[in-house]
Amino acid sequence: MSALHTDATILIVDDEKKGRHLIKSILKQANYSTLEASDGLEALSVMRSEHTDLVVLDIRMPRMDGYKVCQEMRSDESLKWIPVIMLTVMGDTLDRVRGHRLGIDDYMVKPVNPEEFLTRVSSVLKRRRMYEEISMKDSLTGLYNLNFYQKQLDIFAKMAKRTGAEFSIAVADIDGFKAINDTYGHTAGNDVLIEISRVMKNTLRESDIITRYGGDEFTVIFPDLAAPQAAIAVSKLKNAVSSEIFIDKRTRKRIPVTLSIGTATWTRDITDPNKLFDIADRNMYEEKKRASS
């Protein structure tokens, strides 16, 4: 079996230690990172505290079986999109039907064939990534959208809680965007959104996660940046946008474009990652008020 290079983290859920270790050893051959849980309740707890790309889930377990785990996952906004491969000692058709009705992505009978199992794991992860590429991109700007931002924010918050890693976010809003639309038309407004997206991608680091939050508002997640470094990055971005020449294609007139940007940095006293957005958003509006007064 040839070694692969992956960055996916897979949660193995089985009440039998021997079963978990067997699956773990197969996944390790393909360089996957793994997490373990011995029952359904523990699995849900792990998923809520650790970033998880895929769950390999046994059906028959005490306290909470695999079906119940899937039901809980699909009703939880933060877990509902995590793909699941279900494992069972039986090849019962009714089990398969019930599983697929709960949104299970694939199904295998134990003991698994290592080659087939890794192929199915790879296929499920590839399908999920393709889905994310389609469903989590903004069609106008090509940036990631709100759904992707929320997923990434959750990942970074979990990592920060576990390791103490720092990260910051920024909320950016185009100043006077309604006036741009009213003066030059919505086509020109769309062109401004596209150009600002391009400037953001060219100015910020490749590792910074830029999203179109909605309308004329953007968010940026700055991995590993504390407040002072995030402030420097934001200042650089504001200067880049204000220096850019935005031209209305119809009138050939220059459109003045500036951004108001607020930032916030993760701290241990923040329990809800969405509060980080609220802080940055409030700081952005405070900056907008100062600029207009």
The pLDDT of residue 1:
38
Residues 107 and 24 in one domain: yes
Q: Is residue 31 very low, low, confident or very high in pLDDT (cuts 50, 70, 90)?
A: very high
pLDDT in tens, 121-150: 999 999 988 887 788 899 999 999 998 899
- The residue range of the domain holding 220 is 146-292
Domain count, the chain: 2
With respect to residue 84, please indicate whether it lies within any of the assigned structural domains.
yes
DSSP for the chain, please give it: --------EEEEE-S-HHHHHHHHHHHHHTT-EEEEESSHHHHHHHHHHS--SEEEEES--SSS-HHHHHHHHHTSTTTTTS-EEEEES---HHHHHHHHHTT--EEEESSPPHHHHHHHHHHHHHHHHHHHHHHTB-TTT-SB-HHHHHHHHHHHHHHHHHH---EEEEEEEETTHHHHHHHH-HHHHHHHHHHHHHHHHHHS-TTSEEEEEETTEEEEEEET--HHHHHHHHHHHHHHHHHS-EE-TTT-PEEP--EEEEEEE--TT--SHHHHHHHHHHHHHHHHHHHH-
pLDDT in tens, 35-67: 999 999 999 999 988 889 999 999 888 888 888
| Residue 91, pLDDT above cutoff 70 | no
pTM, whole model, 2 decimals?
Answer: 0.70
pLDDT in tens, 222-249: 999 999 999 999 999 999 999 999 999 9
Q: Which CATH number covers residue 16?
A: 3.40.50.2300
Residues 221 and 102 in one domain: no
